Structure 1
Amino acid sequence: MKRKFDLYAMTWRLPIIFWQFLFFVGPLLFMVAISFFVVKNYRMTEALEMVNWQKMLSRNYFWDSYWYTIFIAGVSTTVAMVLAFPASFALAFRASDNLRRWAIFLLIIPFFTSYLVRTFSWYVILAESGVVNAMLGQIGLGPFKMLNTHFGTVVGYLTLTLPLVMILQTVTMANVDKTLIEAARNLGCKPLATIWRVVLPLSKTGLIIAALFCFILSFGDFVAPFYLGGSQEPTLPILILDTTKSGQQWPRAAVVAIMMMGTLFAIAFAAIALAYRKGGAR
């Protein structure tokens, strides 16, 4: 049976469709077109050549940045998910509804301030003469170098993503049917086994989405690896900046950006497919 064309529904969808084409599809197509331009005498010239793709994809520094960006974003995602889970679990299953609402509100407050300001505040904390090393010095440890390191980059990523991950995990687990947990305990399931066999499977979709958001934000972030990581091993966003500064090579920077977007699309589709995949019969 054919569905009739719903003019009323389409009327309400058109603004969203127009917005997506104007501010997402349009710039994306323009960026793809730029990747085939050539730069002559520091000016872009319209062309249809693969020289930018050949040069960027054949350079070791591009692939070093590519795999390092995936690695450090993956580490950040893993650390954020592990650190957030105990607090999110307590808020979802141990805290009252009123306390949970206040906790989520407090987790939202960091987003009221600039991420760049929050990142710079870590200079005072992580510097060799900063707060952390001063505390460690009281017990005869340190000073340790924490800025301009992988550790500094991960701390910056967590500053951006950890509150969001905790919110998503808390909301997801708060919607788990509590009677199923009580049934598991009545059947003799131990606490850790209950989490592994009941809570995690029922929260799978929300947890994967939380991890996906964390990875996407970390993968595309410029501030943390540049200011806290020292950009000694440049991530792809830093590589884009360096490329544009090098002879106004916007077409080559477009190649890097397209590779980033292609990677994120692939990871996002795979994560969503895993999140909503139905388990087979046991």
Structure 2
Amino acid sequence: MNSRTVIPVTTGDAVVPTGHAAPRRTRRRARGARFALGLALPPLVWQLAFFIGPLLVLVAMTFWSVKMFRLTPDLALGNWTHLLSSSFFWDAYLYTFWVAALSAVLASVLALPVSYALARKVSPRLQRLAILLLIVTFFTSYPVRTYAWQIVFSPSGILNSLLALIGVEPILILNTTSATVVGFLTLTMPLVILIQTFAIASVDQRLIEAAYNLGCSHGRTLFTVLFPSARIGLILAGTFAFVLSFGDYISPALLGGSRPPTLSILLTDQVKSGNHWPRAAVVAVTMILTLLTVVLGMLALAYRKKGAAA
């Protein structure tokens, strides 16, 4: 008999190959693993070089000191103690967190009817057109859109000019928190609508039909079947809105007037005042840790099993 012949040996219900088939299969798996590692290596090196590396430098910089307007590598805790014991830092932190959370909630709630209509009510042609228009908004510079709101909200702008025509006193919106929230919504709403639309459209239509067959009303079907089934996408959409709003600098500066300051504005001020990069690094690391905590918490909430809370 030829030595290359593979004779299967039966043990119970399993068939165990003998001869050279098993080594060949092992070699194929090894080649596949090396190929996968080769594909994964470039993005891994990129992340290490341009994300992990700078992040480690940023963390190390929080312990440096500034002497005669020059950075000096050090292991001092003065930057952390100075900021974490300052009331202006915590005021900026709480204000940033609150206004970002408010913007995320507003974006999620305001986008939901639009997303539901695009996913379930309009024709496929109109749906594609709406999605295209939402994507096109990202082609326009965000600062340009923010400056456009300045024209609308300024004391002699479009809004107050229209109010004057009907005899209403001018209202002050520019350089307020309301204007900042509008800027955040301008930034996040297109993305939130897109994510919500895809999440709602992916829900199995048979679940909706089954709810109607069991006598559920339209509203009850939405809140007990459709939205819970799209929970992951809805939570992720709100999380993206919070992340973008929490780190944004343009809207608080151009529409909010930097009063009160957000963490992004505080970070810039630390650099401008005495070229104090280490204190700015403390603010940046605090923002990163906050966002990581929020994102991980929202992911745990989104992917939590239904029976986990019991």
Q: TM-score, normalised by structure 1?
A: 0.96
- Flag the 1:138–1:188 CA change in 2: closer, same or farther, 3 A: farther
| 1:171 counterpart = 2:186 | no
Q: Deviations over 1:11-61 (max 9, x none)?
A: 111111111111110000000111110001111111111111110111000
Which of 138, 141, 155 is 2:168 aligned to?
Answer: 141
Q: Is 1:215 the counterpart of 2:242 in the alignment?
A: yes
Q: Tell whether 2:73 aligns with 1:50.
A: no
Question: How far off its partner does 1:141 sit?
Answer: 2.3
Match in the other structure for 1:197 = 224
Identical amino acids, percent of aligned pairs = 50
2:142 aligns with 115
Q: Residue 173 of structure 1: CA displacement?
A: 0.5
Moved more, 184-193 or 7-16: 184-193
Partner of 2:89: 62
Within the alignment, does 1:256 sit opposite 2:283 as a pair? yes
User: 2:107 is matched with which residue: 80, 89, 96?
Assistant: 80
- 1:144-155 aligned at under 5 Å gives the runs 144-155=171-182
1:125 has 2:152 as partner? yes
C-alpha deviations, 1:151-206, integer Å up to 9, x for none? 00001101110011001111110111112112212222112111110111111000
Q: 1:192 to 1:11 in 2, by over 3 A?
A: same
In structure 1, the partner of 2:10 is none
Asked which structure has the greater RCO (Cα within 8 Å, sep 6+), the reply is: 1
Counterpart of 1:134 in structure 2: which amino acid? S
Q: Secondary structure at the match of 1:30?
A: helix
Unaligned runs of 5+ in 2: 1-25
Which shifted more, 255-264 or 173-182? 173-182
Q: Distance in 2 between matches of 1:126 and 1:16?
A: 44
| 1:139 CA displacement | 3.1
The offset of 1:127, in angstroms, is 1.5
More displaced, 235-244 or 126-135?
126-135
Q: Which has the larger radius of gyration?
A: 2
Unaligned segments of structure 1, at least 5 residues: none
Q: Partner residue of 1:246?
A: 273
AA aligned opposite 1:125:
V
SS at match of 1:144: coil
RMSD: 1.4
Paired residue for 1:188? 215
Give the whole-Å Cα distance in 1 for the aligned partners of 2:252 and 2:128. Answer: 33
Rounded to whole Å, the distance in 2 between the matches of 1:192 and 1:68 is: 35
The Cα of 1:138 is off from its aligned counterpart by: 3.2
Residue 91 of structure 1 deviates from its aligned partner by: 0.6
Per the TM alignment, residue 137 of structure 1 is displaced from its structure 2 partner at its CA by 2.8
Give the secondary-structure state (helix, strand or coil) at the position aligned to 1:39. strand
130-139 vs 62-71, greater mean Cα deviation: 130-139
- C-alpha distance in 2 between matches for 1:192 and 1:138: 41
Moved >3 Å (runs of 4+): none
**CA deviation after TM superposition for structure 1 residue 99, in Å:** 1.4
Q: Tell me whether 1:98 sits opposite 2:141 in the alignment.
A: no
Aligned residue-pair number: 280
2:34 matched to 1:7? yes
1:94 and 1:197 map into 2 onto residues whose CA distance is 19
Looking at structure 2, the residues matched to 193 and 106 of structure 1 have their Cα atoms a distance apart, in angstroms, of 31
Q: 2:210 is paired with a residue of what secondary structure?
A: helix
SS of 1:194's equivalent in the other structure is: helix
Residue 54 of structure 2 aligns to a residue whose secondary structure is helix
